[in-house]
Structure 1
Amino acid sequence: MESATFRDQVVIITGASAGIGHAMAVQLARQGARVAIAARRAECLEELAAACRASGAEVLVAPTDVGEESQCKALVDNTLSTFGRLDMLVNNAGLAASALFDDYHNLDLFRHTMDVNLFGAVNCTYYALPYLKQSKGRILAVSSLGGKTAIPYNTPYCASKYGLHGFCDALRMELKPHEVSVTVVCPWWVATEFHAAQLNKDGVPRGAPRGKDYYTSKTMTADRCAEIALQAAYKRRREVLMGPGLLAVWLKLIAPGFLDWLSIKIFLEPAARRAREAQAKRE
């Protein structure tokens, strides 16, 4: 991607405190964009803002819980008050709760996952849309291959990501007359804090050591994922599937039962085995 692709563009990034969102903010800052960075962890946002400002970027720090509609409205309003326009919204905030569906004590974690992953994007998009229409801007949604093909132990996450895809696909058609693009990127495994923050049935995060056990030396970095996502948004692409995404979508059409088996044997079981082996070494 060219070094000045998003120069002078105003971009809101949710989930910016870590991982892919953090990497996108740094890359956009280096390209000369003006960024509004949003997440719940204010101290992490301040550290990110310092890094972005070191590249000469203008930065708005906006502590935000995207699951709260009023905070999403405030995020957009503050961005407009600070920068006067909006060119791109990056709906990146997300989390996961992992357990057998009937092992959850109640549906609170399920609803919380939907509130952040799906309604967080809906909330931000609703309030950003009038300004994106004015600028003929872009919406970039960071989804997952879990939004194209499901895996067990992830019912809340997959439900939220399937919903995000449906929302974006319908919205894309509605916004075509306004020349606002909607790009959905579907990462595979990316080495971030995501799995460390993944919640169990009791709402307790795995923690850093256990979260990192799922990755290998070949796992995509957050920087590379961010680069692919931003390039796709710039080119106004419809959808980007990473890793085995194209194969998974194809198999889902012609051999869904085989895909279910493959997801468990090739994806889930090896990841769980790596985690168990790493845990045994620490004990």
Structure 2
Amino acid sequence: MLLKDKVVLVSGIGPGLGQELALEAARQGAKVVMCARTVSKLDDAERLIRAEGLQNPVLKVPTDIANQSQCKALVEQTIAEFGRLDVLINSAYNPGDFAPIEHAQLDGWRTAMDVNFFGTMGLTLEVIPHMKAQGGGAIVMINTMVTRKPMPTQAGYGASKAALASATAHLALELGPYNIRVNSAYMGWMWGPSVEGYFQIMADNGGPSVEEQKAAVAGNIPLRVIPDDADCAKAAIFLGSDYSRAMTGAALDVNGGDYIPH
């Protein structure tokens, strides 16, 4: 088990990647701390874990990571419950407004930045002192291929994640001497509830069928498949594990090769 007896905090629990991260952490032997704004999403994730017969300790803490005091309370509760925090996986995000830049509502950009950058950094800053005190830890940032391969209507989201990428590199440099590793997983298209729902909306509004859309996207990915949420989660779990103990500041592409210029 890659995370046996480690305490792993996953932010942004919800259908798709967030749930898969929590589930895979449990499969790998972790004590799992989950946060999201919505209690029902935390309950759903725990049900998935228990449905596999896993009895790992699970701590669920409703949290809005854009609220610094809630981030502080989340980390304090984690330490009170388990005495340490070995891995933080920053998965919470806000997609922002889907619009070309010339038509963008910058308030939407600010909302995305409050979660994707400031919220993620706020939670990370609460974790760092505890990781220093215990002699190390791992921080995993869930980033996006969009920062390097622009996609129409996703500029605000991409800009917030690009800011996070820069801060992550600085964090890796600063925290390395304390044995705290900071790495990023760059996701692209991921097959799961969010993408499937998006394709269904497009189909219901007169667009191509879900299967036709799926085939069109997959055709532009070197592996010719849209990576599954669960497979993407495994790569992030690897970055949190001791199998990546020689890595910090790394940008791991988890997108079927879609980032490659072609």
TM category, shorter: 0.7 to 0.9
1:96-152, CA deviations, whole angstroms, 9 ceiling, x for partnerless residues?
A: 121012323x42211111111111210110000011222411000110111233333
Q: 2:233 aligns with which of 217, 226, 236?
A: 226
Letter in 2 for 1:167: A
Following TM superposition, the consecutive aligned residue runs of length 4 or more in structure 1 with deviations greater than 3 angstroms are 193-197, 206-217
The alpha-carbon distance between structure 1 residues 87 and 7, as it changes in their structure 2 partners (threshold 3 A), is same
Matched with 1:255 is none
Contact 2:101–2:155 under 8 Å retained in 1 = yes
8 Å CA contact 1:193–1:208 kept in 2: the answer is no
Cα–Cα, structure 1 residues 223 and 196, in superposed 2: closer, same or farther, change >3 Å?
closer
Seen in structure 2, the aligned counterparts of structure 1 residues 192 and 69 have a Cα distance that, compared at 3 Å, is farther
How much identity, in percent, do the aligned residues show? 30
Q: Report Cα offsets for 1:25-52 as digits up to 9, x if no partner.
A: 1111122211110111211211212332
Taking the aligned partners of 1:89 and 1:229, their CA distance within structure 2 comes to: 11
Question: In structure 1, what is the equivalent of residue 30 of structure 2?
Answer: 33
CA RMSD of the aligned region, Å? 2.2
Cα distance in 2, alignment partners of residues 240 and 79 from structure 1: 28
Letter in structure 2 aligned against 1:224: D
* Partner Cα separation in structure 2 for residue 112 and residue 125 of structure 1: 19
Higher relative contact order (CA 8 A, sep 6+): 2
Mapped pair 1:149 → 2:161: no
Distance in 1 (CA, whole Å) between partners of 2:189 and 2:32 is: 26
- Counterpart of 1:244 in structure 2: which amino acid? G
Residue 252 of structure 2: aligned partner: 240
User: Unaligned stretches of 5+ in structure 2?
Assistant: 204-208, 219-224
Q: Partners of 2:43 and 2:227 in 1: how far apart?
A: 26
Equivalent position of 2:77 in the other structure: 78
Distance of aligned partners of 1:94 and 1:196 in 2 relative to their CA distance in 1, 3 Å threshold: farther
Shift in alpha-carbon separation, 1:51–1:195, aligned structure 2, 3 A: closer
Counterpart CA distance in 2 for 1:221 and 1:90 is 18
Query: Which runs of no fewer than 5 residues in structure 1 stay unpaired?
Result: 198-205, 249-261, 263-283
CA distance in 1, matches of 2:258, 2:119: 24
| Superposed displacement of residue 196, structure 1 | 7.1
- Counterpart selection for 2:201 from 194, 199, 209: 209
The whole-number CA distance in structure 2 between the counterparts of 1:245 and 1:189 is: 8
Q: Distance in 2 between matches of 1:38 and 1:48?
A: 10
Alignment coverage as a number of residue pairs: 237
Structure 1 window deviating more from structure 2 (148-157 vs 173-182): it is 148-157
Counterpart check, 1:171 vs 2:171: yes
Confirm or deny: 8 A CA contact 2:145 2:259 kept in the other structure. no
Distance across 1 between alignment mates of 2:130 and 2:41: 28
Once the two structures are overlaid, the 10-residue window that deviates more, 5-14 or 208-217, is 208-217
Distance 1:136 1:111, change over 3 A: same
Provide, for residues 43-81 of structure 1, a one-character-per-residue CA deviation record: whole Å limited to 9, x for no partner. Answer: 121121233244011011111111111111111111111
TM-score by length of 2: 0.83
Cα deviation for residue 10 of structure 1 reads 0.4
Deviation per CA, 1:241-277: give whole Å up to 9, x if none: 13335624xxxxxxxxxxxxx7xxxxxxxxxxxxxxx
Secondary structure of the 1:25 match is: helix
Distance 1:174 1:155, change over 3 A: same
Listed as ranges, the matches of 1:254-265 within 5 Å are none
2: distance between equivalents of 1:30 and 1:182? 22
Q: Which residue number corresponds to residue 11 of structure 1?
A: 8
Per the normalisation by structure 1, the TM-score is 0.77
SS in 1 for 2:260: helix
